[in-house]
A and B are shown apart, each in its own frame.
Chain A
């Protein structure tokens, strides 16, 4: 039954594509109904602890099962996808809308498979499907040549990490003879280290951690709804979710926690700065996604996967409406340059909902995201107070860019900009997600928190009043800084050093210089060497062959041709002779016979004299002959 959670959206996507209708309301209805059904299914699955097995071959069995954490994510994915898909049906451009919705459904299905997987093979299948879907979705508007290129960039970057997943699966199978999560506990030594390394690599690449972060910027080439889904509940979430899911096994490796924390912290701080100076609305949000997933990595590294998942949920609920709002704003000004927006007057509803989500992004209590950030800081504090401080600093940075985003995108410009209001469904989608963000404020209530902890079977890290105060202070400071940036430097990040920083501190350029170009140079050098050296032997063989062939051809002319010509002459002579003889025989026989018969006829005529004596004489001679014969016979 648990397979239904995967099959339902995939089949719905296929049916939607096959049905052929392009009507927005119909597409939204089918996609929304599918997502609602999935939410119900996931609830029942979590309550009834469903699980499934699919026998592929005697050696390979696909398992799916739910733990409390994966149930939470399995529920989150369709719940966030529901408004996003409805929004997509009404927001995106006409051409290919049906394909977009079908792919999004498939994307959600693949993500569900990844979430409910209980062995590495199933995980790998879901992981690859998610990657393939993301490529197709980013390259959705393929008529613009740069978009497929961006899709390819993102795809190659994440596929690089996928290699780690393959490594992990192979290491697990080599070490325990099984792919199942349950058997990972048997791993020790090298296989366990390889598994950890592989999973960390693939998770970092999927979740846009350094040094893989730049692909998230290129992924912004996709439609807004794709970005929203990609960053909120699918694809990017997969990395952090995977680490949280397998944290008990992975943490047995000593270097796992430091490595994860290092990656997460670096990304959180670097991404925060990138987002602050970024001038492209969606890229600002993309950088903040990297930063927040960095925070989740820290939580996993500190040993609190549940905190990471809680932040994942909170992040999904505020990041999706931010993207949707950015999409609407971008559509109004036909571009995503923040400095040109200031749509607060024109889009009051969107501005309000975006404001709620931006406050959550900034980590302002009493919103739920603020509490999850506090929890991460508390978890980090158990490793080192400096780590807690760094997390709080990252939170402060997120306050800066949240304020900057809100101020620039939905500030009140002068003169007020006029723009058409968004569609009802678009407003509802953003409103619903903002509402969920508000509902998550309940996390601040200790009783709710304790009940949730009991439900998930986890213990939340104890929070600290001092840290809370520092966090509040930093958030306030961040908001103020963001506001000041909006007022004083609205053009920040469009030129000069900030622009360089805004492009991931020049990391894409660095990657191009350090990876792509050397590889290309090496490849061309290798090609040249191949031409010069390795081809020499085949070329020599070819030359020799040609020479031999020429020689043989000449011999052939001399010997074989002469033979052939002699045979031809002989045959011709034979034919001429045969013709003459044949003519003589073939003509002579019948003609001779005819002449003889004619002669006989003429002679026979001479006997017919007309005289009866002659006839009588002949009769008599005949009778005499007959008599003689009879006499001789007797």
Chain B
């Protein structure tokens, strides 16, 4: 499997994630889109590591950090969503207008 193929898959993942993040109204779906984009990024990191650095441990480390970031991201994201819902009874993005200028 060539690096090119891996990058194509990763780009597809990122594109899907971006679409999801832009198009979905629900907070949960927005977070899913973001997860997909991060997965694409993780795939690029791992692909590049395996195909071009001959098993440098630093690449592995970066991949693990990105994974940890994804987990933290999810945890904080869902915590926020839960907090917003409890407070305002909303689960869609348009319901939250306090970030306006």
List the interface of chain A (C-beta within 8 A of B): 605, 608-613, 616-617, 620
Contact = CB atoms under 8 A, between A and B. Distances in A.
The 7 closest A-B pairs by CB, nearest first: A610-B100, A608-B101, A610-B99, A605-B101, A610-B97, A616-B21, A620-B18
B65 interface: no
B54 interface: no
A605 B21 CA distance: 23
Nearest to A612: B93
A605 B99 CA distance: 12
B30 interface: yes
Interface of B: 18, 21-22, 30, 93-94, 96-101
A616 B93 CA distance: 12
Nearest to B99: A610
A137 B60 CA distance: 132
B94 A611 contact: yes
A634 to B, nearest CB: 15
Contacts of B21: 613, 616
A6 B75 CA distance: 129
Nearest to A620: B18
B22 A612 contact: no
A484 to B, nearest CB: 148
Given A611-B94, A613-B21, A616-B21, 5 more contacts: A608-B99, A608-B101, A610-B98, A612-B96, A617-B22
Contacts of B99: 608, 610-612
Nearest to B21: A616
A613 B22 contact: yes
A608 B100 contact: yes
A613 B94 CA distance: 9
B72 to A, nearest CB: 19
Contacts of B30: 612-613, 616
Nearest to A613: B22
A611 B101 contact: no
16 contacts: A605-B101, A608-B101, A609-B100, A610-B98, A610-B99, A610-B100, A611-B94, A612-B93, A612-B96, A612-B99, A613-B21, A613-B93, A616-B21, A616-B22, A617-B22, A620-B18
B58 to A, nearest CB: 23
A235 to B, nearest CB: 120
B92 to A, nearest CB: 11
B96 A610 contact: yes
Nearest to B101: A608
Contacts of A613: 21-22, 30, 93
A613 B99 CA distance: 12
Contacts of A616: 21-22, 30
Contacts of B93: 611-613
A613 B33 CA distance: 11
B98 to A, nearest CB: 7
Contacts of B98: 610
A617 B19 CA distance: 10
B101 A620 contact: no
A620 B40 CA distance: 15
A65 to B, nearest CB: 123
B80 to A, nearest CB: 11
